[in-house]
Amino acid sequence: MAYSNSGSYTTGNSTKSEAQVCLKFPPKVSSPGLMALWSAKGQNKGKLRMLMEYSGPRLQIQMVVTFVLTQAIHSVLKHLRLPMFISQILAGMILGPMVFKGKSSLITSSDQSVAVLGTVGAIGYMFFLFLSGVKMDVGMTFRSGKKVICIGVLTVVVPLMACLITANSLSQESQFFTNKRVFLAVTYSATSFPVIHCLLSELKLLNSELGRLGLSAALIGEIVALFLLTICQWVVDGLENGWKVVVSNFGFFTVYFVIVVFWFRPVMKWMVRKTPEGGQIKNSYLYIVIGAFLVSHKLAELLKVYIVFAPFLVGLAVPDGPPLGSALVEKLEPIVEGLFMPLFVTTCGMRIDFSYLKNYGSFAKDQVISAVVTNFVKFGVSFLLPFLWNIPIRDSLAFAFIMLNKGIVEMAAYSFMNDTLVISQDMFAFVTIIVILIASIVPILVKTLYDPSSKHVRYLKKSIMDCKLNDELRIIGCIHVPANVNSIIDILNASCPTRQSPIALSSKSPSNNSYSENVVLAFNRFERDNWGAVSVKSFTAVSPPNLMHEDICNLVMDQFTSFLMLPFHRRRHVDGSIESEDQTVRRLNFNILQKPPCSVGILVEGQRHVKCINSRDHMHDQYPLANSSTYTIAMIFMGGKDDWEALALAKRMSRDKSVKLTVIQFKAVDGFQDDDGDRMMDKQLLRNVKENTSITYIEKEVKDGPETLTYLRSIVDDYKLFIVGRRYKREDPQTVGLHEWSEFQDIGIIGELLSSPDFGGKHSVLIVRHQ
């Protein structure tokens, strides 16, 4: 039995085209198996062709071929810095009618075979829109500020007006304000939040200053575009079908909105309240939310709500962040991003056929001109607004290209219009060319124009040496585990905070609510105990591991910080065995040390402390600095910029009466020095040390690394804290022969020696790197 369905559309030249699709019923789903097909008698068809008549195995083969071809194309195009989206589109074009025109292939053996693959992809796109809504924080629109709101609104409204004016001037039709024209105009001018988010994620700019500006503006632009599209559709319906239809549609939309916002959202908030603080939400709650999302599709159809709005609005209603929003993203994103969306993009590519461009209609030509004008206007507005607000020209250009970007959302809209015969094949080919060109060029240009690390290099020099003794010293301390708290507070206590020479501390900690609260309480107590000498600001951040260093560097610049303290990635027990080791923290430290935004210190904690934090007693420290009669510090000096910065910090600490500082200079026997300028600065700094009666100065001549090692081993038990310069990959006579035993070159050879369990491990080590 066969089922036939046909449809037609009219182009700008008033030529009528008709499409007819035939499907077989009942459909064949599951095959009898390879062995049964292989042993079948009297079959003239190929065995593989027989297998492809069944939709189940055919879909599996289509998925395998699609993924293999996509990865093969991307393995080449990634060297050109083209996104995965382009590889998926090209894979679809290869598997589509452009290559197999009039032929039969395993992928496009029939309309029914493509329909099954397209259905799977369409389901994935619905989930994609749902997750996009879940990821969006609507409250961000109220916290963005007037300038960002202005950018988000104007980058949509101004291009939309330009598009409508251009299309109206080119059109020769009497009825201009049609549903099709309005939908296309909004699509050309809209800013898609999911597309911008994907672009910034691929370029690793999500946590950069420009990335945050782009996301905020894209969020506002997305909301404005959806609002305008809804209003324009109602206006068109009123002009074409009467205003009673508009009132009816508005009523249906209001009912849907009320159900989602005033019934479904309170239910989800109740689920969040029933989840213990810091705990995971029940799987049954997740299944209810996912089920409601699937039902919302049918509800939107019954209430005549635009089908794409339904999953997006439901996603917006989900409370963002943990425990519900983050759990949905964690559960669904891998299968949506890894399976469904590649199939959907590939099926969009399979619809493209550039052969229709040979005989394009006047409507397609007018719309292409309108689209080009709209994109130029959008680029101009996106560039001028930030530039007028004193954003550098290169950053403004990069921002304009970010706002101009096109991707999966636009491709889906055009494919939907093509499938429903709203636009013709020639029009579809034109707009997909625009999407492909913009999506290919924008990532390359943004990467060329904007380098967030260069901002750290251009940042005003701010180090401990540049701070006068009576100036405020701004410090940021990063905390990854509870034990980091007391070690950082010990260093702050040793830094001699006074009313005349205060310390401003920014504490950055993970996002666990109960833990973060205890960290904040601990530092608030430290601020209270040093009232007037210490001011504390606490920041709790959630960052992807590969972008965490950008988040910290941006905070350093925002707070005009002079010194950044980072915990070492490895912690040891008292007996020297490894307690914990976090490679993510090691990569974070290394990324910051590559291009430090200010002076940086890596703190290796000693094992003399027994620390914990709980809700009742915010800090327990067996040997707090405040209770020590003297706190002995040794600063190891061998010369160079890192040692200068370490010495500046040590001298600041020595002003505390409870601190006893010893500066130990390791001097090569042959007097070798590789830089005359460095040697002069070394002598000047050491002269000041010798003249300071509160500082003990020791000069030790050594001929090689083993002699340095022997001397350090002999004094290691005399001090509670060692301050050393990093001296990364620097070869000196005093350290000859030690580098070959180095495991962590990122903290320098002297820092690693003093951190070794062979030295007892009861002291702390602070390794300093200059800006």
Region 416-441 average pLDDT? 89
Express each pLDDT in 661-705 by its tens digit.
999 998 887 655 555 557 788 888 888 888 888 889 999 888 888
pLDDT of 110 over the 50 cut = yes
Find the radius of gyration of the CA atoms of the chain. 33
Given pLDDT bands bounded at 50, 70 and 90, which one contains residue 376?
A: very high
Given pLDDT bands bounded at 50, 70 and 90, which one contains residue 478?
A: confident
pLDDT value, residue 597:
81
Flag the least confident range among 304-318, 633-647, 729-743: 729-743
pLDDT value, residue 624:
43
Q: What single DSSP character describes residue 303? A: T
Between the ranges 300-314, 398-412, 560-574, 638-652, where is the mean pLDDT highest?
398-412
Express each pLDDT in 280-290 by its tens digit.
888 888 898 88
Helix (H, G, I), strand (E, B) or coil at 769: strand
pLDDT value, residue 155:
92
What share of the chain in percent tops pLDDT 90? 12
Region 483-502 average pLDDT? 73
Reported residue count of the chain is: 771
Q: To the nearest whole number, what is the mean pLDDT of the chain? A: 79
Region 370-391 average pLDDT? 92
Flag the least confident range among 10-19, 124-133, 468-477, 630-639: 10-19
Report yes or no on whether pTM surpasses 0.85.
Answer: no
Between the ranges 30-44, 331-345, 444-458, 595-609, where is the mean pLDDT highest?
331-345
Express each pLDDT in 326-358 by its tens digit.
888 888 888 888 888 889 999 888 888 888 888
pLDDT of 724 over the 80 cut = yes
Beta-bridged to residue 572, according to DSSP, are 578
Go through 48-63 and write b for each residue having 16 or more CB atoms within 10 A of its CB, e for each that does not: eebbbbbbebbbebbb
Beta-bridged to residue 4, according to DSSP, are 22
pLDDT value, residue 13:
39
pLDDT value, residue 397:
93
Rounded to an integer, what distance in angstroms lies between the CA atom of residue 151 and that of residue 54?
A: 52
The CATH architecture that domain 84-450 belongs to is: Up-down Bundle (1.20)
- Backbone phi, then psi, for 506, in 5-degree steps? -110, 120
Residues 6+ apart with CB under 8 A from 718: 632, 634
More confident residue, 413 or 51: 413
pLDDT value, residue 176:
58
Given pLDDT bands bounded at 50, 70 and 90, which one contains residue 440?
A: very high
Given pLDDT bands bounded at 50, 70 and 90, which one contains residue 32?
A: low
Angle of CA points 605, 606, 609, to nearest 5°: 100
Given pLDDT bands bounded at 50, 70 and 90, which one contains residue 164?
A: confident
Rounded to an integer, what distance in angstroms lies between the CA atom of residue 435 and that of residue 411?
A: 7
Residues 6+ apart with CB under 8 A from 597: 456, 459, 553, 556, 557, 561, 564, 771
Flag the least confident range among 404-418, 504-518, 532-546, 637-651: 504-518
pLDDT of 80 over the 80 cut = yes
Between the ranges 191-200, 225-234, 378-387, where is the mean pLDDT highest?
378-387
Q: Which long-range contacts (CB under 8 A, 24 or more apart) does 213-216 make?
A: 213/148, 213/151, 213/386, 213/399, 214/399, 214/402, 214/403, 216/140, 216/144, 216/148, 216/152
Region 420-443 average pLDDT? 90
- Classified by CATH at the fold level, domain 464-611+629-769 comes out as Rossmann fold (3.40.50)
Express each pLDDT in 554-597 by its tens digit.
778 777 788 888 888 887 776 667 777 788 888 888 888 887 88
Flag the least confident range among 258-262, 445-449, 459-463: 459-463
Express each pLDDT in 236-252 by its tens digit.
777 777 778 778 878 88
pLDDT of 496 over the 70 cut = no
Q: Are 199 and 442 in contact (CB under 8 A)?
A: yes
pLDDT of 601 over the 60 cut = yes
Domain boundaries of the chain, sorted by first residue:
84-450, 464-611+629-769
pLDDT value, residue 381:
94
CA distances from 49 to 55, 107, 390, 525 (A): 12, 11, 64, 75
pLDDT value, residue 508:
59
Q: Indicate if 464-611+629-769 has the same CATH topology as 84-450.
A: no
- Backbone phi, then psi, for 671, in 5-degree steps? 70, 20
pLDDT value, residue 611:
38
Given pLDDT bands bounded at 50, 70 and 90, which one contains residue 372?
A: very high
pLDDT of 291 over the 80 cut = yes
pLDDT of 719 over the 70 cut = yes
Given pLDDT bands bounded at 50, 70 and 90, which one contains residue 16?
A: very low
pLDDT value, residue 377:
94
Given pLDDT bands bounded at 50, 70 and 90, which one contains residue 185?
A: confident
